[in-house]
């Protein structure tokens, strides 16, 4: 239950907090963009099984690959892509936290 609360709390509460704390003027627009970071989970559609509660997404799904995570991180350094980069990195942090709470081998090997 803790994993579920932490994982989805990061996915849905952290974007709202970031938008509120750092983008008050454009809160609705920015919070919408940040919440859309969850869309990278579309790559789960190509996995078999599509959902596995004990699978670490990081390094397994294409949009969760280490190369693309580096790209998401790079987006943070450019003003035009920063909000998208924040959205994607919040998503990756949520998934990394989930993997950590599972004590997944990809994090501990």
pTM: 0.91
Q: Confidence class of residue 106 from pLDDT cuts 50, 70 and 90?
A: low
Q: In the prediction, which pLDDT does 4 show?
A: 84
| Residue 104 in this model has a pLDDT that exceeds 70 | no
- 39-52 pLDDT per residue, tens: 999 999 998 888 88
Q: In the prediction, which pLDDT does 102 show?
A: 84
What share of the chain in percent tops pLDDT 70?
A: 94
Q: In the prediction, which pLDDT does 25 show?
A: 97
| Residue 8 in this model has a pLDDT that exceeds 80 | yes
3-state secondary structure the chain: CHHHHHHHHHHHHHHHHHHHHHCHHHHHHHHHHHHHHHHHHHHHHHCCCCCCCCCCCCCCCHHHCHHHHHHHHHHCCCCCCHHHHHHHHHHHHHHHHHHHHHCCHHHHC
Average pLDDT over residues 90-101: 92
């Amino acid at each position: 239950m803790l994993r579920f609360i932490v994982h989805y709390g990061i996915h849905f509460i952290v974007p709202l907090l970031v938008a509120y704390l750092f983008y008050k003027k454009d809160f609705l627009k920015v919070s919408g963009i940040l919440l859309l970071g969850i869309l990278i989970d579309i790559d789960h559609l190509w996995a078999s099984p599509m959902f596995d509660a004990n699978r670490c997404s990081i390094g397994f799904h294409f949009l969760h690959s280490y190369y693309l995570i580096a790209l998401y991180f790079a987006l943070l350094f450019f003003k035009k892509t920063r909000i998208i980069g924040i959205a994607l990195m919040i998503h990756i942090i949520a998934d990394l936290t989930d993997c950590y709470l599972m004590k997944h081998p990809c994090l501990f090997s």
